[in-house]
Amino acid sequence: MNTYKQVLLAFLCSAIYILPVAASDRLTSDTDKEQRWANQIVDFLIEGESQWLRAGEHRFLGIYTPSTIERPKGAVVLLHGRGVHPDWPQVIQPLRTQLPENGWATLSIQLPILPNEAGLEEYVPLFKESPVRIKAALDYLEQRGFKNIVLMGHSLGNNMATDFLAHSRDNRVQAFVGVSMEAARQPKKFEVLDNVVGLLQVKVPVLDIYGSEAIEPVVKSVDRRAYVIYQALDEKSRQIEIKGANHFFQGFENELVQTITTWLDKAILISQSSKKLVKINQ
């Protein structure tokens, strides 16, 4: 075999070996980016306390913020949107810090993320990593004695929440709040990006809350989501629009928090009353 063919064969063999490895790098969270986010957050955290949780061998950041009232109503697991972190200043930080003032402790966790240039569809393989993180958050709150636990997502965090609820049937979750949920129809391989697919299998009360000026995938799927909310889900489920608010509720943070807590107080109270009634009748 001449030198040219030997070099070409060596190159092809190495390419066959290397390409799958390079491709697999995109199938897992960018842990270096996670660590950079964590370093920045922990160094400048004012409200709440950092907690390191475990997903298998991986350690990831959570921020626990206790309720400011003597007898908390429950706790909320906060799930951020695509590529950001658990103290993101838009939506997540206001919810993380203001819900405790209304009796709800919060645990905001770092979800799997990719480099900044990654597209939405590239996040689909990461849905295999998110359930164990959500479960770790639920374990943490259960260990702190919480019974009323709520999942609350924003943007892509909603998809990871509905996917978890659709497949885990974890009875520790009492309700789900989806902030700015998208529900554009997707091909089968990307169906986790369509919240309606997950919502159809959710067995807890759901609040679908969005701004009238949200991004197109949110506004255009309002009717699809409403059909599921009012036809297929728990009778306590609701869809609420906040007039004038955008995808990130800038300038409407207080209204967002108040609307959510008002619904949670009613939904959880009704759920608790129903459980008590069942026990009395048994």
Q: Tell me, what's the pLDDT at 27?
A: 59
Find the angle CA(63)-CA(69)-CA(75) to the nearest 5 degrees: 40
What type of residue is 244? G
Q: Tell me, what's the pLDDT at 268?
A: 84
pLDDT at 15 over 90: no
Out of 2-11, 57-66, 170-179, 248-257, which region has the weakest mean confidence (pLDDT)?
2-11
Q: Tell me, what's the pLDDT at 122?
A: 95
The number of C-alpha atoms within 13 Å of 221 and in the hemisphere containing its C-beta is 23
Q: How far apart are the first and last CA of the chain?
A: 84
Instruction: Let me know: does 228 contact 198? Beta carbons within 8 Å.
Output: no
Across the range 65-92, mean pLDDT stands at 96
Tell me how far apart the alpha carbons of residues 254 and 91 are, in angstroms, rounded to a whole number.
10
Domains of the chain, start order: 3-281 (3.40.50.1820)
Pairing, β 58-65 against β 49-55: antiparallel
pLDDT at 273 over 90: no
Tell me how far apart the alpha carbons of residues 86 and 54 are, in angstroms, rounded to a whole number.
15
**Would you place residue 12 in the very low, low, confident or very high pLDDT band (cuts 50, 70, 90)?**
very low
Instruction: Let me know: does 140 contact 149? Beta carbons within 8 Å.
Output: no
